[in-house]
Amino acid sequence: MDEILEILEKDGRMSPEDISKMTGKKPADIKKTVKKYEKEGVILKYKAVINRELVRENDSEVRALIEVNIVPQKDLGFDKIAERIYSFPEVTSCYLISGTYDLLVVIEGKNLRTVSNFVAEKLSCLEHVRGTATHFLLKKYKEDGVILKHKPEENKRIAISY
């Protein structure tokens, strides 16, 4: 992969001047290359990795990983079904995977009920979906290569002495 892309993937806030110092290329050339990547769709967006545990106002937000077993459509394979699934607003990511299941779908909901309703009322009833397995995300330790710091929890254990 291009070294400019590697640098921006690690830190999307790097300026052309900073990238220039790292690569030895001219800032103007870097700006031009980045604009080209944006126009071609190589760079899709810039994002911040947020440690939601530190800013969460309540514990009701739920994220789930759903493995989906599907029957591919003739001449279309998995793509058309995947497109139908990733079009739901609850879906944040959708991947074709190897193994027992075909798709890995990541969704977010306000609570367990919204996630279970999504699976029962929207996902499982799709024509080519043959089965699902839902895994609720309990705690994140690392995301996109960044280790997430957690709020120190108060030790509520009762001291035992002998």
C-alpha 33/C-alpha 49 separation (Å) is: 24
Q: Classify each residue of 59-73 as buried b or exposed e, where b means 16 or more C-beta atoms within 10 Å of its C-beta.
A: eeebbbebbbebeee
Record the tokens describing residue 3, joined without a space: 């070294």
- Determine the residue type at 18: D
Domains and CATH numbers, the chain: 3-40 (no CATH), 58-140 (3.30.70.920)
Given the structure tokens 């030895």, which residue do they identify?
Answer: 24
SS3 state at 89: coil
The rounded distance, in Å, linking the Cα atoms of 12 and 146 is: 14
Predicted local distance difference test score (pLDDT) of residue 49: 81
Helices (H) and strands (E) in the chain, counts: 6, 6
Would you give per-residue pLDDT tens digits along the chain (162 residues)? 899 999 999 899 999 999 999 999 999 999 999 999 999 999 999 988 877 777 766 555 899 999 999 999 888 889 999 999 999 999 999 999 999 999 999 999 999 999 999 999 999 999 999 999 999 998 888 888 888 887 666 666 777 777
Q: What is the DSSP letter of 141?
A: S
Query: Which pLDDT does position 53 carry in this prediction?
Result: 74
